[in-house]
Structure 1
């Protein structure tokens, strides 16, 4: 895929940061699977859900080993239908997350849940993998697993992939209900619904920036503060006030939360009558931000 091809254009420092974030996201997802999903039998879809079911049906098989088998089969399918280039880093992610789970199983076995509070356990079983997946998606990669099925479906069918994967996840949750009891099955369904909203929310939070528009009596001073103190750029254009009919210079810039607070405090000191609007945005593409 194009995003994978872009990795080869990175500097060493950029690649190191990308690899660190990728593995951090996979490790966080693996921690959620091992410490919260597995001991509570929360089979909430995906390869981890299938692996939890398999480890119960075949007691000599642990969840990490089952994930290697399931992910391995999916990688072979992906290679057969999509080719090595299209699979890209998905191959690494599929096996890395399985390896992280296996390592955790060896270092910190979890024969029982941390607590007797099932709802609390469910929250962490959803939040950790969702946060890990969000970090991985945010660097342009995937956690593998059922993402490979989605890629195959996207290439060869006109199926609505999101709905197809949601149906498959619900079937896995229903299987968990049949295997572990209705209570666990209902918790799995609840976890699926929570996960559907949480991943997008975490991604938006990671990428959140403030689009700031300033109308000031001293636009040059504001521009210099943005350029020199905040080390950001801005777009400057001329507009006319509807009420006054007066021409004003308007500055628009994109800042982090901290930089926005600094600009607001600066305006409070130098031009308390300045007009300021601040809008949240999670999709900023261009130089200094994310690439296309």
Structure 2
């Protein structure tokens, strides 16, 4: 296994560890069934305490993978299988050996911090092009057989789980579960955006050729020359355009300060970049 691949699995492991921690120390002890396979497992564990949340999650994930392969020709990446099975096993390990108790019994605090930690962990997993599987498969089946949009199908599945939790835990707790689901969706999007933020840069400089070579040769990024005309001077000039990571921009800024302190630079934040050297267009 290449070093880069090994690092990817380390990062995924960190992500599922955060999700497992949130489930076992915030959500499960407070009966917050925030959708997904783990939400179903929390409900079943409350009805039949001898059933481990981790084992139930593992069994349900395996069954859903089998159903997907049979009915929707499901093809899953190794990383998704690793994340799904790994999360279930990590939950089981925490239950079996650490005997977790709730960090807080305040439902609002448990909902907020459980969603925050879980969302951060799931965003880490998603950012590595993996997922924790689970009810996403049911949503995909609803999409194929009943032509329901994936987003709406996921909400429908999670809403159904929350409805069942209302019957088991009561309406008040179920409402906190619904709030947790809403927070998860919002926070995951924001965290992933934060992971992928890049700098969009326009540079007007007398040393544009040297700067472009630095971007290409040293930073290993592409750049583009645009033609511009100064409104005041009427002179033509090259405008250099590039998209860089935060760290690359810091290096470039130091370099420009050395070669042309009078350069004019504008910088904007870009939340998604698709194409060579960045994320694939999907």
TM-score range, shorter chain: 0.7 to 0.9
Which position in structure 2 is the counterpart of 1:206? 195
Which position in structure 1 is the counterpart of 2:61? 71
Per the normalisation by structure 1, the TM-score is 0.85
Q: Distance in 1 between matches of 2:126 and 2:172?
A: 32
Q: Distance in 1 between matches of 2:128 and 2:143?
A: 21
User: Which range moves more in the overlay, 196-205 or 146-155?
Assistant: 146-155
Runs of at least 5 residues in structure 1 that lack an aligned partner in the other structure:
1-10
Which position in structure 2 is the counterpart of 1:130? 119
Report the 3-state secondary structure (helix = DSSP H, G, I; strand = E; otherwise coil) of the residue aligned with 1:211. strand
Q: Distance in 1 between matches of 2:134 and 2:109?
A: 26
Is the contact made by 1:216 and 1:274 (CA closer than 8 Å) also made in structure 2?
A: yes
Q: Distance in 2 between matches of 1:101 and 1:227?
A: 46
Q: Distance in 2 between matches of 1:202 and 1:16?
A: 23
Which position in structure 2 is the counterpart of 1:171? 160
- Trace 1:127-166 onto structure 2 (pairs within 5 A): 127-166=116-155
Q: Distance in 1 between matches of 2:54 and 2:94?
A: 9
Q: Distance in 1 between matches of 2:45 and 2:279?
A: 41
Alpha carbons of structure 1 residues 160 and 286: separation in structure 2 relative to 1, 3 Å? closer
Q: CA deviation at 1:39?
A: 0.9
Q: Answer yes or no: is 1:180 the counterpart of 2:169.
A: yes
User: Which range moves more in the overlay, 52-61 or 137-146?
Assistant: 137-146
Q: Distance in 1 between matches of 2:251 and 2:2?
A: 32
Which position in structure 2 is the counterpart of 1:83? 73
Runs of at least 5 residues in structure 2 that lack an aligned partner in the other structure:
none
User: Which range moves more in the overlay, 204-213 or 268-277?
Assistant: 268-277
Q: CA deviation at 1:270?
A: 5.3
User: Which range moves more in the overlay, 205-214 or 170-179?
Assistant: 170-179
- Out of 2, 10, 22, which is 1:32 matched to? 22
Q: Distance in 2 between matches of 1:170 and 1:154?
A: 16
Q: Distance in 1 between matches of 2:140 and 2:153?
A: 12
- Out of 119, 131, 150, which is 2:108 matched to? 119
Is the contact made by 2:26 and 2:114 (CA closer than 8 Å) also made in structure 1?
A: yes
Alpha carbons of structure 1 residues 180 and 28: separation in structure 2 relative to 1, 3 Å? same
- Cα RMSD, aligned residues only: 2.4
Which position in structure 2 is the counterpart of 1:7? none
- Out of 4, 21, 38, which is 2:11 matched to? 21
Q: Distance in 2 between matches of 1:172 and 1:266?
A: 55
Superposed CA deviations along residues 43-73 of structure 1, whole A, max 9, x for unmatched, are 0111111110000111111211221232222
Q: Answer yes or no: is 1:109 the counterpart of 2:99.
A: yes
Which position in structure 1 is the counterpart of 2:233? 244
Q: CA deviation at 1:214?
A: 0.8
Is the contact made by 1:78 and 1:87 (CA closer than 8 Å) also made in structure 2?
A: no
Q: Distance in 2 between matches of 1:247 and 1:108?
A: 69
Q: Distance in 2 between matches of 1:39 and 1:58?
A: 15
Q: Distance in 1 between matches of 2:257 and 2:77?
A: 50
